[in-house]
């Protein structure tokens, strides 16, 4: 190797210049970064057959100002009408606004933005002040046949926010971002859709001070995008948080919802259970803005008892043992861990490197039979009542032991918990040196876990110099999810067909198209073959009912109004 020990890439440590493509493309806080460790750089060099010089010249940084050269196509009278509806200050048509609110965080989107490539954009950005504004906007746009694409947190990874037909980008997070009420008796919080995760959680944690509540609460939903995704976005994309094994996926956290659609505005009943026919409260979850706009949601909340939280971590001798133990844990009926994740051998190894495991610990693990590229790490917590978390932690440990695992204590999980929201920041650094990172994920029944894992890996690893790390992080008695992370030195024109083939392998081997990222336009081409034409027919009938003029997120969202071509 030609690497002097002290070489370290010149990672970017400056916030992007406002108004540049990079400013739109960068994840999260403009001033926050997370750089790959030196060990990771070494690993990438070895894996991708790179040398220091590959980490000397940054590429496609996207540091130029956004210039669109595409005048908005919306008639002036519509722009004026919007200004009358929501106030002049809440309407924008400058290039930056149009691009910003037409972009999500899809790998492909980000790389193109860095290259100055902007695909479809909206003509006008509108920031409604309240649900009445949304109602007026939707009525107007329906009458005038103006497409409306909803933007809230902006963290979509499947082109879910791209205004394929132009029109209006409706931004919910600017004003509609408050907790409206907390109900101590029902343990629910009524919240506006554009509220970001940390603000929501803070309001619940401080419910006594802010709402005069009797207790402190937690939302129980902590996706990796937590800091930059919103409550409404969670609901309409069927998100899942890192503690979902205990708290449930977001669809289980919804109590009732209020939607504005071209066909009408309605609020579902606020009841814990009902047998009054098929539940529209369920049908709306995951509708990704294609049926209407979620303007208020009442969420189930939980007592905030961080003092009872227990952290644990284990090393399993291999993937089979980790999966078997996890299945036993979710089926044994002693309660459920909250956070629970197992990493496959490749992720375990690279994770240990990323976090910088000391050589001595590595040797110790190997000595005890936990060998590199076989061993699998498991991280988790237990939450709830103090006696309950003690029981869950004890049972998890006993089952782990039965499956040959070694306890690693609480440290690894605490460290993971501290840095978990920072992972997405690493993408900027990798992209700066032409390295692509992307993820795909699938829900899967226990019986299909190994086949899905093996077949996806077999395909991905058939491409030389490609990292494929997998973990399962959402557990159910009937199965789990697999979350695949791909890293390679690769251009987009190679990646897009590669990704297509991976998706094909996922659905051919028992995985769902998505476990918690949603569908957007990226996965829409697979929807009909995945769900079958009968089920897609139902979804399309519902779409036509709600949105007969096809103004709601038109252009292939969920594959409802048209099927976008595979890219």
**Residues 51-70 contacting a copy of itself, CB under 8 A:** none
**How many Cα neighbours within 13 Å face the side chain of 538?**
6
According to CB under 8 A, which one of 262, 289, 434, 479 is a site residue for a copy of itself? 479
266's enclosing H/E stretch is strand 264-267
User: Taking a C-beta distance cutoff of 8 angstroms, is the pair 417, 291 a contact?
Assistant: no
Q: How many of the chain's residues bind a copy of itself (CB under 8 A)?
A: 94
Q: Coil, strand or helix: which one is 484?
A: strand
* Mode of pairing for the β-strands spanning 148-151 and 168-171: parallel
Q: Which span (74-82, 120-128, 328-336, 485-493) binds a copy of itself, by CB under 8 A? A: 328-336
> Which structure tokens are listed for 293?
């706009």
Q: How far is the CB of 513 from a copy of itself (least distance, A)?
A: 5
Cα 325 off chain centre by: 26
What residues from 92 to 151 belong to the interface with a copy of itself (CB under 8 A)?
A: none
Sheet with 293-300: strands ordered across: 179-183, 188-191, 293-300, 254-261, 264-267
CB-CB neighbours of 534 under 10 Å: 8
User: Taking a C-beta distance cutoff of 8 angstroms, is the pair 181, 138 a contact?
Assistant: no
Using rule CB under 8 A, residue 307 touches a copy of itself: no
- Cα(236)–Cα(259) distance, rounded to whole angstroms? 11
Quick one: 305 or 406, whose CB is closer to a copy of itself? 305
Q: Which residue has the tokens 């460790």?
A: 37
Quick one: 93 or 186, whose CB is closer to a copy of itself? 186
Quick one: 331 or 366, whose CB is closer to a copy of itself? 331
Angle, alpha carbons 538-273-476 (nearest 5°): 75
Q: In this structure, what are the phi and psi dihedrals at residue 112, rounded to the nearest 5 degrees?
A: -65, -40
Using rule CB under 8 A, residue 214 touches a copy of itself: no
- Measured between alpha carbons, how far is residue 291 from residues 130, 241, 267, 288 in Å? 19, 24, 14, 8
Quick one: 342 or 436, whose CB is closer to a copy of itself? 342
According to CB under 8 A, which one of 121, 150, 238, 506 is a site residue for a copy of itself? 238
Q: Which span (31-39, 41-49, 257-265, 413-421) binds a copy of itself, by CB under 8 A? A: 257-265
- Measured between alpha carbons, how far is residue 176 from residues 105, 297, 516 in Å? 22, 12, 24
According to CB under 8 A, which one of 68, 181, 202, 269 is a site residue for a copy of itself? 269
According to CB under 8 A, which one of 211, 446, 459, 483 is a site residue for a copy of itself? 446
Cα 301 off chain centre by: 20
According to CB under 8 A, which one of 97, 102, 213, 480 is a site residue for a copy of itself? 480
Q: How far is the CB of 58 from a copy of itself (least distance, A)?
A: 35
Q: Which span (15-23, 148-156, 174-182, 275-283) binds a copy of itself, by CB under 8 A? A: 275-283
Beta bridge partners of residue 70, listed in sequence order: none
Using rule CB under 8 A, residue 270 touches a copy of itself: yes
Quick one: 136 or 463, whose CB is closer to a copy of itself? 136
Quick one: 342 or 519, whose CB is closer to a copy of itself? 519
Using rule CB under 8 A, residue 444 touches a copy of itself: yes
Using rule CB under 8 A, residue 193 touches a copy of itself: no
Q: Which residue has the tokens 């038109």?
A: 554
What residues from 457 to 476 belong to the interface with a copy of itself (CB under 8 A)?
A: 474, 476
Quick one: 51 or 386, whose CB is closer to a copy of itself? 386
Using rule CB under 8 A, residue 288 touches a copy of itself: yes
Q: How far is the CB of 161 from a copy of itself (least distance, A)?
A: 16
Quick one: 391 or 563, whose CB is closer to a copy of itself? 391
Q: Coil, strand or helix: which one is 480?
A: strand
According to CB under 8 A, which one of 53, 69, 276, 462 is a site residue for a copy of itself? 276
User: Taking a C-beta distance cutoff of 8 angstroms, is the pair 292, 260 a contact?
Assistant: yes
According to CB under 8 A, which one of 95, 108, 123, 249 is a site residue for a copy of itself? 249
Using rule CB under 8 A, residue 277 touches a copy of itself: yes
- Cα(79)–Cα(258) distance, rounded to whole angstroms? 27
- Cα(474)–Cα(300) distance, rounded to whole angstroms? 19
Q: How many residues does the chain have?
A: 567
Quick one: 60 or 561, whose CB is closer to a copy of itself? 561
What residues from 379 to 418 belong to the interface with a copy of itself (CB under 8 A)?
A: 383-385, 387-388, 391, 395
What residues from 547 to 566 belong to the interface with a copy of itself (CB under 8 A)?
A: 558
Q: Which residue has the tokens 């844990």?
A: 329
According to CB under 8 A, which one of 117, 417, 531, 563 is a site residue for a copy of itself? 531
SS3 annotation, 349-411: HHHHHHCCCCHHHHHHHHHCCCCCCCCEEEEEEECCCHHHHHHHHHHHHHHHHHCCCEECCCH
According to CB under 8 A, which one of 198, 264, 356, 497 is a site residue for a copy of itself? 264
Q: How far is the CB of 191 from a copy of itself (least distance, A)?
A: 15
Q: How far is the CB of 265 from a copy of itself (least distance, A)?
A: 7
According to CB under 8 A, which one of 144, 183, 362, 423 is a site residue for a copy of itself? 183
338 Rama sector, left if φ>0, alpha if ψ -120 to 50, beta otherwise? alpha
């Amino acid at each position: 190797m030609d690497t002097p020990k002290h070489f370290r890439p010149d990672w970017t440590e400056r916030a992007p210049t406002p108004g540049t493509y990079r400013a739109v493309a960068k994840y999260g806080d403009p001033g926050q970064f997370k750089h790959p460790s030196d060990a990771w750089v070494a690993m990438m060099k070895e894996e991708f057959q790179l040398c220091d010089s590959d980490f000397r010249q940054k590429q496609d940084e996207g540091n130029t100002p956004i210039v669109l050269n595409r005048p908005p196509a919306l008639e002036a009278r519509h722009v004026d009408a919007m200004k009358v509806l929501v106030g002049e200050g809440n309407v924008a048509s400058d290039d930056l606004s149009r691009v910003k609110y037409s972009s999500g965080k899809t790998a492909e989107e980000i790389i193109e933005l860095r290259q100055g490539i902007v695909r479809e954009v909206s003509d006008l950005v509108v920031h409604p002040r309240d649900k009445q504004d949304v109602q007026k906007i939707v009525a107007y746009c329906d009458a005038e046949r103006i497409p409306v694409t909803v933007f809230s947190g902006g963290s979509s990874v499947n082109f879910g926010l791209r205004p394929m037909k132009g029109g209006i980008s409706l931004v919910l997070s600017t004003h509609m971002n408050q907790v409206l009420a907390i109900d101590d008796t029902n343990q629910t919080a009524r919240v506006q859709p554009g509220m970001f995760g940390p603000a929501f959680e803070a309001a619940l944690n401080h419910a006594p001070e802010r709402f005069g509540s009797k207790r402190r609460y937690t939302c129980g939903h902590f996706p990796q995008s937590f800091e930059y995704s919103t409550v409404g976005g969670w609901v309409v994309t069927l998100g899942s948080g890192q503690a979902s094994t205990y708290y449930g996926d977001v669809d289980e956290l919804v109590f009732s919802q209020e939607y504005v659609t071209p066909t009408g505005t309605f609020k579902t009943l606020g009841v814990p259970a009902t047998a009054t026919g098929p539940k529209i409260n369920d049908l709306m979850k995951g509708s990704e803005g294609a049926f209407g706009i979620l303007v208020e949601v009442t969420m189930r909340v939980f007592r905030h008892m961080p003092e009872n939280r227990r952290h644990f971590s284990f090393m399993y001798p291999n993937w089979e043992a980790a999966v078997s133990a996890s299945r036993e844990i979710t089926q044994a009926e002693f309660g459920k861990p909250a956070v629970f994740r197992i990493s496959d051998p490749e992720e375990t190894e690279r994770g240990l490197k990323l976090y910088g495991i000391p050589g001595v610990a590595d040797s110790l693990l190997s000595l005890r039979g936990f060998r590199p590229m076989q061993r699998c790490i498991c991280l988790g917590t237990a939450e709830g009542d103090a006696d309950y978390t003690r029981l869950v932690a004890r049972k998890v440990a006993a089952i782990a032991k039965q499956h040959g695992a070694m306890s690693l204590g609480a440290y690894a999980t605490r460290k993971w918990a501290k840095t978990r929201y920072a992972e997405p920041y690493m993408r900027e650094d990798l992209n700066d040196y032409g390295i692509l990172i992307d993820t795909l994920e699938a829900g899967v029944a226990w019986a299909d876990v190994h086949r899905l894992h093996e077949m996806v890996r077999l395909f991905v690893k058939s491409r030389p110099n490609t990292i494929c790390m997998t973990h399962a992080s959402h557990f159910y008695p009937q199965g789990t999810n697999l979350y695949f992370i791909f890293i390679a030195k690769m251009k987009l024109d190679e990646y897009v067909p590669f990704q297509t083939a991976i998706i094909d392998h996922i659905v051919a081997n028992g995985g769902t198209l998505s476990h918690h990222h949603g569908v957007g336009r990226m996965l829409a081409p697979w929807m009909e073959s995945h769900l079958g034409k009968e089920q897609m027919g139902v979804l399309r009938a519902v779409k036509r009912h709600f949105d007969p003029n096809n103004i709601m997120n038109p252009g292939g969202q969920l594959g409802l109004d048209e099927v976008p071509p595979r890219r």
